[in-house]
Amino acid sequence: MADYKLIGKNYTTPDILAKVTGRAKYAEDFRAEGMLFTKLLVSPMPHARVRRMDTSAAMAMPGVEAILTADDLPEAEAPQEAGLTNEPLYEGEPILAIAAVDEETAAEAVEAVQIDFEPLPFVLDPMDSLRPGGPNARLDGNTMAGRDLSTIKWNDVDWSEFDRGIMPLGGEVTDEWQVGDVEAGFAEADLILDESVFSASLSHQPLETRTAMAYWQNGKCYMHCSTQSTARTEGGMARWIGIDPTDLVLIGEYCGGGFGSKISSSIQARIPAALSRKAGRPVMMRVTRQEENFFGRARPGIQCRAKFGFKSDGRVVAIDLMLVQDGGPYGRSGDYMSCADQASLMYQPEHMRVRGLTVYTNTPPRGAQRAPGGVQAVAMFAPIMDKAARQLGVDPLDAIHLNAAEGQALFGRPRQGRQGNVSSAFPKEAIDKAREEFDWEGMKARSGQRNGSKVTGVGVAISSYSAGTSGVDGLLVIRPDGMVEIHTGVGNLGTESFSDTSRAAMEALDTPWEQAEVVWGDTSKHLPWSAIQGGSQTTHGHTRSNWAAGLEAKKRLQEIAADRFGGSPDSFDVAEGRVFRRGNRGQAMTFGQAAERAIQLGGVYDGSQLPEDINEMTTRSATALAGRGLVVAAKDNFETGGRNMSFCIGFAEVEVDTETGAVVLKDYKVASDAGTILHPQNFAGQVHGGGIQGFGVALGQKWVMDPQWGLHVAKRFYSNRPPTILDAPHDQEMAWSASDNPDPFNPLGAKGIGEAPVGAGAGAVLNAISDALGGNVDFNRSPIMGDQILTKLNPELDEAHNKLSTHV
């Protein structure tokens, strides 16, 4: 790694003290004078129409101030949601909201509403909707074909196959692509595995629910909400509220987790905003855990027929996928397509065909969840890779290495006949390093070891996902007191990238971090146009933008010094909070002195004159800051070289008790290719936090729904079973390693690391369980729980359900 002073070093982020001491204020912690509380009436049915509603008794209750129904909100264009509805499409969908002086009163009032629902046909499993005559989740169709809602039924497929757990082929799809010639690929394969596989839907379950509080003052709406991004929440939130973005003050300095479900906050935040406007008082909507489970978004499940062709050395020559996605009731999630893209990237087949569609169901709305599609790809396909390696007698890590992407590898769905490429790929280097560091041979030697009824299993899986964007802005102010104010519109999701990427500016200025002040999380504080805090965009995107702003600030400082001392700007350098003449450090100005001079100079120095290529939002913010010091706004115009992708390779060791089906995770290690590491402590938090989330995918997080009534039965936080820290291995610390190959298309070499770790955790654990059982057991499904293990090991037990069944 290059010799950096800040990049790659641990430090204390500016938000951490407030977080660990409880001083940090999340949306729920705010109060405003005269604030009301609202409670929601949510649908008790999976699909219904409100036939009659009488709110008179509720409104007559003392302390009840206002009510909001779907009729008060602009209608959404199908298949989008409005936030409140008279035709709920899933259990728990909000119907109306009542604001009262306290929550107790609001809840009593909701209970006093007389409401009559007409039940409508519902469907929980996408395959049930594809069956001839099967119900549609929506009255206007069961899928999206291009931009249109339409209805697809698989009238001509062999449904008896599906009833035997085989995904039928031949049905109509909405998306299809091919590279190479998949049939020719299979013809040259030495081994073909043709499997039907399933990966379950699961809720995001951030610890902070999507609470929001809003009030209006002098025509502006003040919104305190839980959001991952700041700059990229402003526009959408303003649209939801129906105001101009300049009339919105958005405050979200802390976010208790989002995992993709709060990238631009949540549409439900419009409810307190609209209620507040109606009531003329601030309104707090504290979202409960149960409501979070209903409308807090979820990863779509995927049912898939996956055919993989291998050469005898383990090389993947052809992949043919048929993907059916459980789309929930609204919007259009593209997980099934990114699932195919990631398969293409991870295994690099010469020939690949993909067919698929998303089918609407009356289950909670789907959204991006940490590596959307990528996690499902690993959960479904890593076991196929493992099975092939076993059948071919190839070391599974060698098989991953053999197939892994290199350089600017091509992958995914072709556009205009050509596949796109990655900016860099070093998974082979990551594997080479980890093989030694993690003692892969030693791990393998423990595979199959027995201790009474307990058997050790070892698993390894590769995972890839997107890791950056470009073209966003940097904005900083060097103030007369010498401090460097770095403004960022990245949110504070908890990944700390809002701060970690700000360090790029100080690195460019060669100045200690103590002289920096990060400004974030509040649009009234004048933030630049930023990337979404999602899709692992920020680490790459904002090291670029802050590096650009830092270099621009350095240039202006050099000009100011040249103006003061004479000579060319190039004869000056910047370090340690000063600009000075090279070779004569006596001729120097502190940042504070330079800032004062910038104010006097005006123009390009104090923010009065701004670059033309920056975003309108950045221009607005920089203009508001003009005159406060040396104000620098800069767009990231650095060269790009393809899509940024990071890679993780998970190594898991489990112990499976063959008498109880219990799985204990003994060890987990993860190797990574994520470019230059900005902040090792945070990096470890990402690779292991993501890994643990993946353990949930592998070991137990799911929904259970009663098919007769279409209702959730496992909607409690505990019955949803997200993994906890005590589910992580604790005999020794989980290790991680990084290939440390800088991305050539980032000035600091940085790539994101938020997404890829999840699949690595899921895939490695699934493969380890399979290994413990001798590799003879095909689960073809995630999660795998104790009951499934016992059922597989005891042939006298009947499978309780089809292996492709959803929500069981």
Partner 1 sequence: MAVIRDKMPAFQLFQPASTEEALGVLDQYGADAWVLAGGLDTWDWLKDRVKKPAAVVDLGGVSELSEIRSLGGGLEIGAMATLRDVIRHPEVSEQFSMLADSASQAASPQIQNQGTIGGNVGQDTRCWYYRDGWSCYRAGGNICYADTPTAMNREHAILGASRCVAVNPSDTAPVLVALDAEMVVRNSTGERVIPAQDFFIGPAVDIMRMTALQPGDILTSIRIPWTFANTRFYFEKARDRAVWDFPLANVASAAKINNGVVEDIRIVANGVAPYPVRFLAAEDAVRGRQVSQAVAMEAGEIAINGVRPLRHNAYKVTLLRNLVKRSVQGAEA
> Which residue lies nearer to partner 1 by CB, 570 or 659?
659
Q: HEC string of 164-230?
A: CCCCCCCCCCCEEEEECCHHHHHHCCCEEEEEEEEECCEECCCCCCCCEEEEEECCEEEEEECCCCC
163 binds partner 1 (CB under 8 A): no
452 binds partner 1 (CB under 8 A): yes
Write out the binding residues for partner 1, residues 578-617 only, by CB under 8 A.
Answer: none
DSSP 670: E
Please state the closest distance from residue 807 (CB atom) to partner 1, in A. 9
10 binds partner 1 (CB under 8 A): no
1 binds partner 1 (CB under 8 A): no
> Which residue lies nearer to partner 1 by CB, 606 or 657?
657
The stretch among 4-12, 20-28, 720-728, 762-770 that binds partner 1 (CB under 8 A) is: 720-728
Q: How many helices (H) and strands (E) in the chain?
A: 23, 35
Pairing of strands 48-54, 114-119: antiparallel
Please state the closest distance from residue 722 (CB atom) to partner 1, in A. 9
The stretch among 119-127, 333-341, 454-462, 715-723 that binds partner 1 (CB under 8 A) is: 715-723
Neighbours of 719 (CB within 10 A): 13
**Nearest residue to 574 (alpha-carbon basis) of 510, 507, 482:** 510
Please state the closest distance from residue 297 (CB atom) to partner 1, in A. 18
Please state the closest distance from residue 483 (CB atom) to partner 1, in A. 41
* CA–CA distances in Å: residue 327 to residues 126, 140, 302, 471, 550: 8, 15, 9, 31, 43
> Which residue lies nearer to partner 1 by CB, 55 or 686?
55
Q: How far apart are CA 284 and CA 276, in angstroms?
A: 9
> Which residue lies nearer to partner 1 by CB, 155 or 660?
660
778 binds partner 1 (CB under 8 A): no
Dig out the tokens for 611 from the structure: 């670059």
Q: Which residue has 């005999």 as its token pair?
A: 731
Please state the closest distance from residue 739 (CB atom) to partner 1, in A. 32
785 binds partner 1 (CB under 8 A): yes
Please state the closest distance from residue 45 (CB atom) to partner 1, in A. 11
* The one among 10, 150, 609, 794 contacting partner 1 by CB under 8 A: 794
Write out the binding residues for partner 1, residues 277-296 only, by CB under 8 A.
Answer: 288-291
> Which residue lies nearer to partner 1 by CB, 250 or 379?
379
107 binds partner 1 (CB under 8 A): yes
Is there a contact between 254 and 495 (Cβ–Cβ < 8 Å)?
no
The stretch among 367-375, 542-550, 631-639, 795-803 that binds partner 1 (CB under 8 A) is: 795-803
* The one among 80, 114, 150, 524 contacting partner 1 by CB under 8 A: 114
> Which residue lies nearer to partner 1 by CB, 56 or 708?
708
The stretch among 34-42, 200-208, 245-253, 563-571 that binds partner 1 (CB under 8 A) is: 34-42
Please state the closest distance from residue 661 (CB atom) to partner 1, in A. 7
φ, ψ at 170 (rounded to 5°): 105, -10
Q: How far apart are CA 34 and CA 280, in angstroms?
A: 9
Q: Which residues are CB-neighbours of 11 under 8 A, at least 6 positions away?
A: 503, 513, 679
121 binds partner 1 (CB under 8 A): no
61 binds partner 1 (CB under 8 A): no
* The one among 24, 32, 115, 562 contacting partner 1 by CB under 8 A: 115
Please state the closest distance from residue 327 (CB atom) to partner 1, in A. 22
Q: How far apart are CA 160 and CA 754, in angstroms?
A: 41
Neighbours of 420 (CB within 10 A): 16
Dig out the tokens for 695 from the structure: 């353990």
86 binds partner 1 (CB under 8 A): no
721 binds partner 1 (CB under 8 A): yes
660 binds partner 1 (CB under 8 A): yes
Is there a contact between 53 and 63 (Cβ–Cβ < 8 Å)?
no
713 binds partner 1 (CB under 8 A): yes
* The one among 242, 414, 707, 744 contacting partner 1 by CB under 8 A: 707
Q: Which residue has 């989330």 as its token pair?
A: 693
Q: How far apart are CA 550 and CA 255, in angstroms?
A: 27
Burial class for 285, CB neighbours closer than 10 Å (0-12, 13-18, 19+): buried
Number of residues engaging partner 1 in binding (CB under 8 A): 55
731 binds partner 1 (CB under 8 A): no
- The kind and range of the H/E element at 461 are strand 454-466
**Nearest residue to 68 (alpha-carbon basis) of 326, 356, 283, 331:** 283
**Nearest residue to 212 (alpha-carbon basis) of 286, 294, 102, 295:** 286
Q: How far apart are CA 597 and CA 601, in angstroms?
A: 6
The stretch among 401-409, 525-533, 576-584, 708-716 that binds partner 1 (CB under 8 A) is: 708-716
Please state the closest distance from residue 723 (CB atom) to partner 1, in A. 7
Please state the closest distance from residue 653 (CB atom) to partner 1, in A. 15
Please state the closest distance from residue 114 (CB atom) to partner 1, in A. 7
727 binds partner 1 (CB under 8 A): yes
Please state the closest distance from residue 697 (CB atom) to partner 1, in A. 13
> Which residue lies nearer to partner 1 by CB, 565 or 717?
717
Q: Which residues are CB-neighbours of 418 under 8 A, at least 6 positions away?
A: none
* The one among 6, 39, 206, 591 contacting partner 1 by CB under 8 A: 39
> Which residue lies nearer to partner 1 by CB, 59 or 112?
112
* The one among 718, 731, 732, 776 contacting partner 1 by CB under 8 A: 718
Burial class for 337, CB neighbours closer than 10 Å (0-12, 13-18, 19+): buried
**Nearest residue to 232 (alpha-carbon basis) of 523, 643, 552:** 523
> Which residue lies nearer to partner 1 by CB, 290 or 515?
290
Residue 462, classed as helix, strand or coil, is strand
Please state the closest distance from residue 665 (CB atom) to partner 1, in A. 8
DSSP 74: P
Is there a contact between 336 and 323 (Cβ–Cβ < 8 Å)?
yes
**Nearest residue to 573 (alpha-carbon basis) of 517, 481, 504, 508:** 508
Residue 392, classed as helix, strand or coil, is helix
300 binds partner 1 (CB under 8 A): no
644: left (phi over 0), alpha (psi -120 to 50) or beta: beta
> Which residue lies nearer to partner 1 by CB, 183 or 659?
659
Q: Which residue has 């697809």 as its token pair?
A: 152
The stretch among 8-16, 28-36, 357-365, 705-713 that binds partner 1 (CB under 8 A) is: 705-713
Dig out the tokens for 739 from the structure: 């290939």
Please state the closest distance from residue 777 (CB atom) to partner 1, in A. 14
> Which residue lies nearer to partner 1 by CB, 116 or 733?
116
Terminus-to-terminus CA distance in the chain, angstroms? 48
* The one among 75, 104, 244, 439 contacting partner 1 by CB under 8 A: 104
* The one among 661, 694, 747, 752 contacting partner 1 by CB under 8 A: 661
> Which residue lies nearer to partner 1 by CB, 39 or 270?
39
> Which residue lies nearer to partner 1 by CB, 193 or 662?
662
Please state the closest distance from residue 260 (CB atom) to partner 1, in A. 23
- Site for partner 1, rule CB under 8 A: 39-42, 44, 103-104, 107-108, 110-115, 288-291, 452-453, 659-662, 664, 699-700, 704-708, 713-716, 718-719, 721, 723-724, 726-727, 785-787, 790-791, 794, 797-798, 800-801, 808
